[in-house]
Amino acid sequence: MRKNAAATLILVLSFMLIIAGCGGNGNTSANQNQDNATKAEKPESEAVSGASKASYTPIDQLQDKYDIIIIGAGGAGMTAALEAKAKGMNPVIFEKMPAAGGNTMKSSSGMNASQTKFQKEQSIEDSNDLFFEETLKGGHGTNDKEMLRYFVDNSANAIDWLDSIGIRLNNLTITGGMKEKRTHRPEDGSAVGQYLVSGLVKNVQSKGIPLFVNAKVTDITEKDGKVNGVKVLFEEKDEKNIAANAVVVTTGGYGANMDMISSVRPDLKGLVTTNQEGSTGDGITMIEKLGGVTVDMDQIQVHPTVQQEKSYLIGEAVRGEGAILVSKDGKRFTNELDTRDNVTAAINKLADKAAYLVFDSGVKSRAKAIQQYEKMGFVIKGETVEALAKEMGVPADQLKSTLDTWNGAVKDKKDAEFGRTTGMDNELSAGPFYAIKIAPGIHYTMGGVKVNTNTEVVTKDGKSIPGLFAAGEVIGGLHGQNRIGGNSVADIIIFGRQAGIKSADFAKAQ
């Protein structure tokens, strides 16, 4: 009996193990789907990070040649890859960092565009000409006008293209230097960067475009005056020559390279930077070796609202949704939605060169990025204005007077103190009340390599370098001496698309 019982038990256990084994093997895709669903429920930052780490192309799938090589997996690079793939090409993306996204991941406020379908749906009257004029004014008239014209005229198409691939930016706000609501954000009002990168990575993966990380391109090669590939270092140890008919450089700017910044702007030495560590100007250096030229290298944007301890950008959308800036005395001191250079100058005139963003629960509900700032410990809270003042260490009576005056200006639609005309749709009167301490920090490099509207890299004599294209923050000229908030995301999508299309046309002709 004991033997029979033991045998029966063994059979049962064996059967259970077989079932378990079959279930494990047979339901792999189902388990993966469940894992993916779990990831989708996590916060955007976790979802992007998790998906990225799990799904980059393994090195054993590397080929010796591709139609198009794209250097850099930020917004411009992934956009270029998708457009090149759509034209029948076989592109590859090499990213030197361990994850895709670049500075695009840090984008907060949104993407500017004019005459869009979403503006029309919300009865916002805007025009490409107004967008052009306001951007030119913001850049102090020094923008490359041909590039700017292409930029504004193709902005609405870029919004449509993103929408067509599942990246919907239909929540509108306003940024400094603009008169109309043309800053497009995700539907829930959250920060644009992580949402955009997540969507682009998903599309790159679904199209089967290889994306290698920890893959640092060290040189762009050429033969007979034509670009023909790159040298790429994998995991900092294994260098390979990869051939291509065209190369697109989307390596970003040089905002994290303090040596490069100090060489052209020694006055900025010592400032914090909001840039991710990979923004070191590699692409500019490689392009210069091939005869490409740079423009506006000393034009480096300092953003007025940066949390200093973590060097973290506090997006312009917070002001666009109604926040004000006050000094340590609890007083307003500038038009908060003036251009970034002017707001920065106003903060730097204060005794401690720092200020507070002050807002209420209404602003918090409309600018979803504030949730992230809270998680990072940046946000000061008070149930009443007086309680907030105490937490900030500013005079309570003065802060109360400042908010009363501001709310009166909102009600009358007239800011008699500083002439602000935008971001005045709602009073700051709904408690709890909040503040974030900020000061200026290095944010964006307007300078870079010179390209034409076809994104072809050009030489000193204005001739294009055959097979070499560039897009995103690596290029210069578009923004002039000051970039309007929301224009960088538009830049990477508009010119990223153009680089993908034009490099594909070139590659096909070879």
What single letter denotes the amino acid at residue 301?
Q
Please tell me the predicted confidence (pLDDT) of residue 229: 98
Q: Which two tokens stand for residue 21?
A: 């084994």
The residue type of 343 is: V
Over the Cα atoms of the chain, what is R_g?
25
Q: Is the per-residue pLDDT at 29 higher than 60?
A: no
Over 80: is that where the pLDDT of 430 sits?
A: yes
User: Quick check: 491 pLDDT over 50?
Assistant: yes
3-state secondary structure of 99: coil
Whole-number pLDDT of residue 11: 39
Q: In the chain, what percentage of residues exceed pLDDT 70?
A: 89
Nearest alpha-carbon partner for 448 in 242, 298, 229 = 298
In this predicted structure, the answer to whether residue 4 has a pLDDT above a threshold of 60 is: no
pLDDT, tens only, 197-211: 999 999 999 999 999
* Average pLDDT of span 413-427: 96
Residue 23 has pLDDT above 60, yes or no: no
What pLDDT shows up at residue 38?
32
| Strands 379-382 and 355-360, bridge-based pairing | unpaired
| Angle subtended at Cα 322 by Cα 316 and Cα 327, rounded to the nearest 5 degrees | 80
Residue in the structure block whose two tokens are 């916002």? 124
Confidence of residue 268 (pLDDT cuts 50, 70, 90): very high
The band of 45, judged by pLDDT with boundaries at 50, 70 and 90, is very low
Average pLDDT over every residue of 233-239: 90
pLDDT at 10 over 60: no
**Residue range 162-180, pLDDT digits in tens:** 999 999 999 999 999 999 9
In this predicted structure, the answer to whether residue 266 has a pLDDT above a threshold of 70 is yes
| pLDDT value, residue 147 | 98
Q: For the whole model, what pTM was predicted?
A: 0.83
Strand-pair category, 91-94 with 171-173: unpaired
91-94/211-212 β-pairing: parallel
Could you list the beta-strand ranges (E) of 224-319: 226-234, 238-249, 294-295, 300-307, 312-313
Whether 149 sits among the annotated catalytic residues: the reply is: no
| Residue whose token pair is 């391109």 | 217
- The reported pLDDT for the residue numbered 140 is 96
pLDDT tens readout for residues 314-324: 999 999 999 99
**Is residue 186 scored above 80 in pLDDT?**
yes
pLDDT score, position 198: 96
Give the pLDDT band of residue 108 (cuts 50, 70, 90).
Answer: confident
Q: Which residue has the tokens 């990072």?
A: 376
CA distances from 110 to 184, 193, 370, 431, 508 (A): 5, 8, 14, 26, 34
Instruction: Convert 267-276 to b/e letters by CB count within 10 Å (16 or more is b).
Output: ebeebbbbbb
Q: Quick count: other Cβ atoms within 10 Å of Cβ 453? A: 16
Give the DSSP letter string of 195-208.
Answer: HHHHHHHHHHHHTT
Q: What is the mean pLDDT of residues 378-386?
A: 98
Mean pLDDT for the chain?
A: 90
Q: Is the pLDDT of residue 498 over 50?
A: yes
Query: Within 10 A of 228 (CB to CB), how many other CB atoms are there?
Result: 20
pLDDT at 54 over 70: no
Q: How far is CA 115 from CA 111, 121, 139, 155, 192, in A?
A: 13, 11, 21, 8, 20
> What is d(CA 291, CA 284) in angstroms, rounded to the nearest whole number?
11
Per-residue pLDDT, 6: 42
- Assign residue 252 a region (left: φ > 0; alpha: ψ between -120 and 50; beta: otherwise): left
Q: What is the pLDDT of residue 101?
A: 97
Q: Average pLDDT for residues 4-10, to the nearest whole number?
A: 41
Catalytic residue among 340, 366, 483, 497: 340
Query: Quick one: CA dihedral 249, 253, 256, 262, positive or negative?
Result: positive
Q: How confident is the model at residue 109 (pLDDT cuts 50, 70, 90)?
A: confident
pLDDT for position 275: 96
